[in-house]
Amino acid sequence: MVRDRQLRAARLLKERRLACAVFADPASTVYLTGYVPPVETGPSPFEGGPPLVVLTADGGALLIVSDIEEPAARGRATVDEVIAYRAYSPSENLPREDGYREALMQALDKARFRGGALGIEGAVPHHATAWVAQVFRGAEFTSVSECLNPIRMVKDSDEVAAIRKAADISVAGQRAVRQLVRPGLSEVELFAAVRGQMEQAFGRRLPVLADLVSGPRSAEVGGAPSSRTVGEGEVVLVDLVPCVDGYWGDTCVTVFLGPAPEAELRQAHRVVVEALQKGIEAVKPGMTASELDAIVRGHVRKFGYDYPHHTGHGVGTTWHEGPRIVAGDRTVLRPGMVIALEPGVYVDGRFGVRVEDLLLVTESGAEVLSHHDKSLIVP
């Protein structure tokens, strides 16, 4: 629950002897408050900067937002106080930054910050920190960027519920891929229809990260949908990562358009499906991320293939976080971690194949959160 996450983050501040810290990454805002800042159209020209979370070492949490975001923030955030600044009005030409940093000063005051060490997470705008430095002459900033990463890896039950929903939406997208894909559609046309199905399933717009590449483009591992027309006898690789209420889902399939894929494509697809299955069966609390990478990648290598990317990654308030399922990550898997596994095979100039499931690490193994048809042929 949000309050548990605030307390967990507060303990991190205490360990670093910080009485207070300011977080600016939207992923941290979701994690620490439950409020989901909009991202799809970039920084708002109406606002002084991204929403800020001021957290104290005793677990106090304040959220700074513009008055435009205020209603949504009040509806969603679990914090001691939402502090809103006036961002824009048709009758005044407000210097947006003034309101923003006044709100930050107000929050620091309520957080009883009196100078000294202040944690700062990366994207706090400089005009705001400069103002703090000027008012609190003795303020010393210290980066707490990425400090939440370790605690974010193991999800709370409300986070798992949110990710389940995101996985369901991603799976709805994969269902739409099978229903809609056909030769003659462009990649972007297929993508738009698939995203539309995901948004309809959810009832609102969704940020969506996606690879959608067809034919020889699929050998390039990923890429945004283009105007390329999908042809008969080609593969289409579709990786769908929608953000549902601040948490991301992640699945991938590769489908073939036609009745008779060539033998090597059939084998490559069989190998990656097997590798994924072996990974799912191998997941156990106590094993390391690197051991899991070796099992999945090892199966693909046995057939003379490999993939130039990670075997998988954690998923949460960002679309990619710890643990990284790579050779170099010794993180021990623990119940409550949510990981995506996505082995692939890519044959230059010809085709690429990837399949991906989203898993919850449980006490005894893994629960698959994504149940989508991963077969190669579209009937």
Among 320, 347, 362, 368, binds a second copy (CB under 8 A): 320
Binding window for a second copy (CB under 8 A); candidates: 162-170, 274-282, 305-313, 360-368: 305-313
Looking at beta carbons only, is 164 or 195 nearer to a second copy?
195
Among 327, 336, 362, 375, binds a second copy (CB under 8 A): 327
Q: Which of 82, 352, 70, 334 is nearest to 238 (CA)?
A: 352
Among 60, 225, 343, 344, binds a second copy (CB under 8 A): 225
Residue listed under structure tokens 């036609």? 258
Alpha helices (H) along the chain:
2-15, 26-33, 70-76, 96-110, 126-135, 149-152, 157-180, 187-202, 263-282, 289-302
Looking at beta carbons only, is 100 or 351 nearer to a second copy?
100
| Radius of gyration of the chain, Cα coordinates, nearest whole angstrom | 23
Among 81, 97, 156, 245, binds a second copy (CB under 8 A): 97
Q: CA-based angle 73:74:76, to the nearest 5?
A: 65
Mask: binding to a second copy, 152-181, rule CB under 8 A, as x and -? Answer: ------------------------------
Binding window for a second copy (CB under 8 A); candidates: 124-132, 253-261, 359-367, 371-379: 124-132
Hey, is 78 helix, strand or coil? coil
**Least Å from the CB of residue 350 to a second copy:** 22
Among 189, 220, 245, 367, binds a second copy (CB under 8 A): 189
Residue listed under structure tokens 């937002």? 65
Residue listed under structure tokens 């030769």? 183
Number of residues that bind a second copy (CB under 8 A): 67
Q: How far is residue 242's CA from residue 248's CA, in Å, rounded to a whole number?
A: 6
**Least Å from the CB of residue 363 to a second copy:** 28
User: Does the footprint of a second copy cover residue 220 (CB under 8 A)?
Assistant: no
Among 78, 226, 267, 362, binds a second copy (CB under 8 A): 226
Hey, is 186 helix, strand or coil? strand
Residue 125 DSSP label: -
Q: How far is residue 214's CA from residue 224's CA, in Å, rounded to a whole number?
A: 11
Contact (CB, 8 A) for 213 and 186: no
For residue 134, the one-letter residue type is Q
Looking at beta carbons only, is 80 or 189 nearer to a second copy?
189
Binding window for a second copy (CB under 8 A); candidates: 107-115, 218-226, 256-264, 358-366: 218-226
Looking at beta carbons only, is 59 or 246 nearer to a second copy?
246
Among 224, 260, 332, 377, binds a second copy (CB under 8 A): 224
Q: Sign (positive/negative) of CA torsion 149, 150, 153, 157? A: negative
Contact (CB, 8 A) for 22 and 174: no
Contact (CB, 8 A) for 319 and 312: no
Helices 187-202 and 157-180: crossing angle in degrees, nearest 10, is: 140
**Least Å from the CB of residue 259 to a second copy:** 28
Binding window for a second copy (CB under 8 A); candidates: 184-192, 255-263, 268-276, 353-361: 184-192
Paired residues of 337 in beta bridges: 154
Contact residues for a second copy, defined by CB under 8 A? 25-27, 39-43, 45-46, 48-50, 90-93, 95-97, 120, 122-127, 129-130, 141, 143, 145-146, 186, 188-189, 191-193, 195-196, 199-200, 203-205, 207-209, 224-227, 241, 243, 308-310, 318-321, 324, 326-329
